[in-house]
């Protein structure tokens, strides 16, 4: 019902078919007041006073000025991390500890262990908080079921950890379009199970894609097993990309949470802590609808290892931290076949966004103010952005492009993959309208309006190839900048036709395969947007396969 409610602890939802429903945005207000307490530190887990071999063990501290976190048993450091050693420190405030490292420091017959948590700050001060736990050498921590993350206010928790199942390697290549996979073993699998399929980022594959990034997941999806015949499984949808045996491609069983949602309420975070407001983690068929998030700690509503999930009719306004390291995003990570629609964001960093193997996602009919559109990292493929308005700037940590795809030489993000689509969108930016960093194959850039303050209309480099750029309106204020720049000779097979160019200098730098029927006009602010053949590819597809049109 309506009213103001205080949430002082993290909320983890681990069972299927649970919906949190308010009376409407602004009518039901949830104030998230999770804080570190008077000592400035907090043991976030375990929740009880017992330590099992599979327990989560996490120390947290106030992030402002934090330089180092450490956990000690006696005077022995069993875990630590420091800002100076971590280029992705961001707004770090927590440290996870392996229980095995703790148990090595106590006698085999010890019944308890006292942990010393330490936080060291830039002003030279160190704060400490001790905790004594009872050691349980047998049994299992009940909190391990669908383990809740320590960095979310509200988490819908499935379980995607491979060690809860086992790796099952492919015995034959999984090829694009395949719906059957041959495994070396189907041990533990049965029809109806959900699996993750993964193509590891081997040196062979990274050389092929010129990927300089030394970490991350690039080729993944989640699939449902329909049938098992010997060591061959039939899955519920075709593969979008290749999963070759030579790279050790494999599957494992997962346990997604299903049928859960959060609806019709407002959530506001009061503390500067790097915590996502609503996290859909290994979630399938879950949703956020009619949710307002005011000043999230990290991300507002975010999908991580999500499948068939929806963010609809939501409003996300501002974030506590926008300084890098993965923060102030609206979108999908390691997520597949998800939908964001009719959503409005303001004062975020990268919104809308897909990253780290995200594929088949649709972000549509939404408005993003003071942020940029991003294929942020990790070989995202076959995602659709349509009917989106993006008004980019750099004031919240965005890069200033209308849309940006990470390049292969980026050691933090790596390249992005094939067949992404931008359709009937409206992008305004102080820098280049669309910047494609390389290794991008067969993208479709159709019937969009780009309004560019400084820089070129559309930019591509480093084996960015076989794109169709058609029917766009491109307004370029810089009289020396082209509408299209192909910065390296390996950008081949690009078709650039039927576009209307306002202003700018040369039409094209580089050599597209096709360049025809483009119209040149004098520059003007806010030129008319193009009229696409159909307003929405998404709705067009749904109508032709008998699906319902979304509200």
Express each pLDDT in 422-446 by its tens digit.
999 999 999 999 999 999 999 999 9
Same domain, 142 and 177: no
**pTM for the whole structure:** 0.95
372 occurs within a structural domain:
yes
279 occurs within a structural domain:
no
145 occurs within a structural domain:
yes
pLDDT of residue 47: 87
Instruction: Enter the DSSP assignment of 183.
Output: B
Same domain, 52 and 81: yes
Asked if residues 166 and 187 have their Cβ atoms less than 8 Å apart, the reply is yes
CB atoms within 10 A of CB 411: 12
Same domain, 180 and 228: yes
Same domain, 348 and 478: yes
In angstroms, the CA 309 to CA 332 distance is 10
Domains contained in the chain, number: 3
Asked if residues 180 and 274 have their Cβ atoms less than 8 Å apart, the reply is no
In angstroms, the CA 539 to CA 104 distance is 58
Same domain, 87 and 133: yes
pLDDT of residue 410: 97
Mean pLDDT, all residues of the chain = 96
pLDDT of residue 546: 77
In angstroms, the CA 157 to CA 312 distance is 20
Same domain, 90 and 61: yes
Q: How confident is the model at residue 145 (pLDDT cuts 50, 70, 90)?
A: confident
143 occurs within a structural domain:
yes
Rg (CA), the chain: 25
Residues 491-539 have pLDDT tens digits of: 999 999 999 999 999 999 999 999 999 999 999 999 999 999 999 999 9
Instruction: Identify the helix (H) or strand (E) that includes residue 539.
Output: helix 537-544
- CATH number (domain holding residue 65): 2.60.40.2470
In angstroms, the CA 500 to CA 237 distance is 38
Residues 110-131 have pLDDT tens digits of: 999 999 999 999 999 999 999 9
306 occurs within a structural domain:
no
- CATH number (domain holding residue 196): 2.40.30.240
Residues 294-323 have pLDDT tens digits of: 999 999 999 999 999 999 999 999 999 999
Please say which residue of 254, 286, 314 terminates a domain. 254
Please say which residue of 254, 270, 293 terminates a domain. 254
SS3 486: strand
Same domain, 439 and 522: yes
505 occurs within a structural domain:
yes
Same domain, 109 and 231: no
457 occurs within a structural domain:
yes
Same domain, 390 and 241: no
Same domain, 213 and 118: no
**Residue 38 lies in domain:** 33-154
Same domain, 354 and 483: yes
In angstroms, the CA 128 to CA 30 distance is 31
Same domain, 176 and 62: no
Please say which residue of 126, 154, 182 terminates a domain. 154
Asked if residues 489 and 461 have their Cβ atoms less than 8 Å apart, the reply is no
pLDDT of residue 545: 86
311 occurs within a structural domain:
no
In angstroms, the CA 379 to CA 440 distance is 9
Residue 45 backbone dihedrals phi, psi, to 5 degrees: -155, 155
* Distance (Å) of CA 319 to CA 37, 345, 396, 410: 22, 11, 9, 25
């Amino acid at each position: 019902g309506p009213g103001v409610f205080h949430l002082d602890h993290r909320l983890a939802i681990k069972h299927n078919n649970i919906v949190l429903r308010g009376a409407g945005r602004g009518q039901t207000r949830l104030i998230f007041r999770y804080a570190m307490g008077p000592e400035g530190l907090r043991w976030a887990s375990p929740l009880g006073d017992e330590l099992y071999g599979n327990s989560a063990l996490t120390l947290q501290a106030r992030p402002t000025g934090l330089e180092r976190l450490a956990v000690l048993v006696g005077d022995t450091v069993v875990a630590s991390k420091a800002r100076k050693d971590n280029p992705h420190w961001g707004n770090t405030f927590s440290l996870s500890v392996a229980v095995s490292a703790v148990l090595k420091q106590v006698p085999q017959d010890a019944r308890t262990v006292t942990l010393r948590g330490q936080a060291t700050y830039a002003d030279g001060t160190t704060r400490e908080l001790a905790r004594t736990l009872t050691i349980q050498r047998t049994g299992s921590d009940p909190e391990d079921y669908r383990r809740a993350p320590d960095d979310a206010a509200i988490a819908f928790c499935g379980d995607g950890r491979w060690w809860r199942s086992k790796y099952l390697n492919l015995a034959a290549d999984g090829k694009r379009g395949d719906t059957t996979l041959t495994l070396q073993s189907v041990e533990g699998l049965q029809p109806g199970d959900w699996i993750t399929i993964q193509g590891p980022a081997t040196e062979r594959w990274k050389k092929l894609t010129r990927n300089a990034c030394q970490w991350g997941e690039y080729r993944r999806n989640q699939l449902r097993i329909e049938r098992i015949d010997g060591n061959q499984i039939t899955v519920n949808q075709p593969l979008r990309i290749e999963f070759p045996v030579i790279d050790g491609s494999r599957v494992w069983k997962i346990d997604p949470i299903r049928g859960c949602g959060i609806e019709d309420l407002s959530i506001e975070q009061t503390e500067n802590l790097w915590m996502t407001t609503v996290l859909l983690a290994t979630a399938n068929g879950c949703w956020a609808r009619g949710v307002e998030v005011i000043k999230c700690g990290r991300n507002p509503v975010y999908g991580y290892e999500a499948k068939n999930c929806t963010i609809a009719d939501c409003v996300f306004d501002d974030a506590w931290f926008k300084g890098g390291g993965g923060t102030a995003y609206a979108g999908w990570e390691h997520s597949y076949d998800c939908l964001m629609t009719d959503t409005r964001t303001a004062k975020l960093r990268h919104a809308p966004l897909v990253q780290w193997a995200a594929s088949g996602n649709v972000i549509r009919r939404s408005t993003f103010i003071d942020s940029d559109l991003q294929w942020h990292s990790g070989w995202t493929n076959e995602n659709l952005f349509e009917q989106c308005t993006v008004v980019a700037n750099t004031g919240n940590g965005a890069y200033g492009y209308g849309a940006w795809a990470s390049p292969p030489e980026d050691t933090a993000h790596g390249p992005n993959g094939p067949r992404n689509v931008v359709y009937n969108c409206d992008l305004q930016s102080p820098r280049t309208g669309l910047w494609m960093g390389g290794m991008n194959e067969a993208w479709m850039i159709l019937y969009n309006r780009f309004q560019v303050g400084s820089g070129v209309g559309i930019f591509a480099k480093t084996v960015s190839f076989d794109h169709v750029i058609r029917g766009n309106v491109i307004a370029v204020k810089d009289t020396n900048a082209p509408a299209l720049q192909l910065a390296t000779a390996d950008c081949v097979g690009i078709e650039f036709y039927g576009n209307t160019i306002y202003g700018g200098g040369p039409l094209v730098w580089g050599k597209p395969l096709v360049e025809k029927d483009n119209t040149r006009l004098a520059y003007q602010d806010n030129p008319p947007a193009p009229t696409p053949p159909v307003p929405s590819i998404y709705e067009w597809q749904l109508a032709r396969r008998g699906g319902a049109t979304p509200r």
